[in-house]
């Protein structure tokens, strides 16, 4: 969960990152175009955030790889594990 929170915070922390991810999602014809911000105060946001990241996992993986973010490797491993389970 910590890697997902770090990735979401990286994307949501700057408007440029949000716009770049939104553009990437629109070119990839993704179901969703934005990530939800995770707040530890509201426990329900954890499930919503994880669901949205799961839906956009391929786009987020490409975005992190293009931005050369250090969490891209960890996020890719998580996506690989999720792919094995489904």
Structurally, the chain folds into a number of domains equal to 1
Q: What is the pLDDT of residue 31?
A: 85
The two structure tokens encoding residue 24? 């990437």
Confidence of residue 82 (pLDDT cuts 50, 70, 90): low
Segment 58-77, tens digit of pLDDT = 888 888 878 776 666 667 76
Confidence of residue 33 (pLDDT cuts 50, 70, 90): confident
- Tally of CB atoms within 10 A around 60: 27
DSSP labels, 12-37: HT-HHHHHHHHHHHHHTT-S--SPPP
CA distance 28 to 82: 20
> Which residues form the domain of 36?
2-85
Q: Is the pLDDT of residue 24 over 60?
A: yes
Q: What is the pLDDT of residue 21?
A: 87
What is the mean pLDDT of the segment spanning 41-62?
Answer: 77
């Amino acid at each position: 969960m910590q890697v997902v929170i770090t990735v979401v915070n990286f994307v949501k922390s700057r408007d440029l990152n949000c716009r770049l991810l939104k553009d990437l999602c629109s070119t990839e014809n993704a179901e969703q175009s934005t990530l939800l911000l995770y707040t530890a105060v509201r426990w329900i946001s954890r499930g919503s955030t994880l669901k949205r990241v799961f839906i956009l996992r391929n786009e987020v993986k490409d975005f992190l790889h293009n931005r050369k973010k250090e969490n891209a490797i960890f996020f890719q491993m998580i996506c690989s594990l999720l792919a094995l389970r489904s």
